[in-house]
Amino acid sequence: MFRFFRLVKIFVVAFRYGLEEFPLAAEPSGRLAGLTQRLLFFRPLKEERGVRLRRALETLGPIFVKFGQVLSTRRDLLPTDIADELAKLQDRVPPFDSELAVAEIERAFGRPVSEVFERFDPAPIASASIAQVHLATLPGGIEAAVKVLRPNMLPVISRDLALMDAAARLVERFWSQGRRLKPREVVAEFAKHLHDELDLMREAANASQLRRNFQNSPLLLVPEVYWDYCTPTVMTMQRMHGTPVGQVDRLVEQGIDLKKLSRAGVEIFFTQVFRDSFFHADMHPGNILVAPDGKYIALDFGIMGTLNEADKNYLAQNFLAFFNRDYKRVAQAHVDAGWVPAGTRVDEFESAIRAVCEPIFDRPLKEISFGRVLLRLFQTARRFNLEVQPQLVMLQKTLLNIEGLGRQLDPDLDLWKTAKPFLERWMSEQIGWRGLVRGMQNEAPNWATLLPQLPRLAHRALTDDPAARLEPLLVEIARQQRRRTNAVIVIGTILAVLLTLAIIVRPGLF
């Protein structure tokens, strides 16, 4: 029943703000849009279309606001008036009543807000779809920013996610390409990250991890978390001073080198993904400041992405292959990963990828639309039955945010030349002798546990009756080789111990 009423509300809000204009207006003739407006002559729409879309998303709640935030970074895909209006969703979402924020703080800490903080400003300095931020002073005069969760968020989000899941089921059932795109898995991945945002202790842990990853970094600052003032609904962290990255004119006035800033953004992204496997997955302009010295300042750590080693290696190999225009390697990597059917002709897949990617090389960012490139890639994927990987959806979203940010700061940025040296350096550290020695050093503690057990395990394996498992001929061969195998195991064990000790004692030996 709740789903039904929520669905009714969505249709009512869409009708109230005239959202039917948007898909209909895209028709070449525009006749259907005009007919609709004439039929609904009794409903005057005085506001501009961008304003109506923004207000509709704000009315529908946090999930739809987040949708608008992502759209606002895609200026190459949206008309200017709509993109400008949706950009207000980044940090100008209507705040909730300050009395509710104070009440939540007092409930969380069990005492009046005046006893928690030396000073607390009831007027929020920023309001987002999930929470809002107030300035405060901790005991001892430490400046802090206090993030307070919006009240009664879980029921609304749960209903919206249920609607999204229902829509995904319909897509899988009635659209021939639905199962390949895995919409339900994508919704589940989005739901997991959204629920993570509702636990501010988890966000505080994310912030602490990212700060540790970039400790003493010349590129990125992350606020310190004050754990004694954190609960699941209240998060207190270091107050950061900077200029919103979207205010390009102010950055120019402050003498910030925008080209250097844009290159640093690309390096930060690839460092998070390939060095740390832990990346900020909500990098819209409302979550990024620029310090007076030109460093980035990261805010809002509710959505963080992670990748396993297989995903990292797959991405790195594909990125480098793209940068080197080695489309055959890209095609083969997809086949090897099992993301396309085993019988796929690599040469045909290679040709299709070349047709999509070749036109965008040697062009500055202002002449490239990754949105359109992704659309063509999806069309190619549909042709070759490529399965969408839900674990990479957050990374794809972040890449689009990075593109939108880079387009604002430096339209002439060459993304390929900026990223390629970093990826080549990372790959050189993962393969060859350096990668082998690092892997052996990481496994050394496990070897220390396993090696003392090796003689016992080998003896057990050799003394088991093999007759039940082997043919008579193999049984005879095994008996003849037993003594020889024992000697090999002893020698191998000694060599492994010596090599492990050499690596531990002298790490630079190799």
Cite the active site residues. Answer: 282
H or E element that contains 135: strand 131-138
> Is 55 within 8 Å of 86 (Cβ atoms)?
no
> Is 329 within 8 Å of 321 (Cβ atoms)?
yes
Q: Is the dihedral of CA 13, 15, 19, 23 positive or negative?
A: positive
Q: How far apart are CA 468 and CA 396, in angstroms?
A: 53
Cα 194 vs. chain centroid, distance in angstroms? 12
Rounded to 5 degrees, what are φ and ψ at 217?
A: -75, 140
> Is 320 within 8 Å of 428 (Cβ atoms)?
no
Q: Using N-to-C axis directions, what is the helix angle for 183-197 and 393-409, rounded to 10°? A: 70
CA distances, 243 to each of 127, 141, 248, 295, 296 (Å)? 16, 23, 9, 11, 10
Half-sphere exposure of 101 (CA within 13 A, CB side): 24
Going by their DSSP bridges, the two strands 304-306 and 142-149 should be labelled as unpaired
Rounded to 5 degrees, what are φ and ψ at 225?
A: -95, 135
3-state secondary structure 331-390: HHHHHHCCCCCCCCCHHHHHHHHHHHHHHHCCCCHHHCCHHHHHHHHHHHHHHCCCCCCH
Whose CA is closest to 55, among 92, 29, 21, 27? Answer: 92
Q: How far apart are CA 76 and CA 285, in angstroms?
A: 16
> Is 285 within 8 Å of 247 (Cβ atoms)?
no
Burial 276-315 (b: 16+ CB within 10 A, else e): eebbbbbbbbbbbbbeeebbbbbbbbbbbbebeeebbbbb
Q: Which ranges constitute the DSSP H helices of 61-145?
A: 62-72, 80-86, 98-109, 113-116
Rounded to 5 degrees, what are φ and ψ at 119?
A: -145, 140
Cβ neighbour number for residue 118 with a 10 Å cutoff: 14
Burial status of residue 409 (CB atoms within 10 A of its CB: 0-12, 13-18, 19 or more): buried
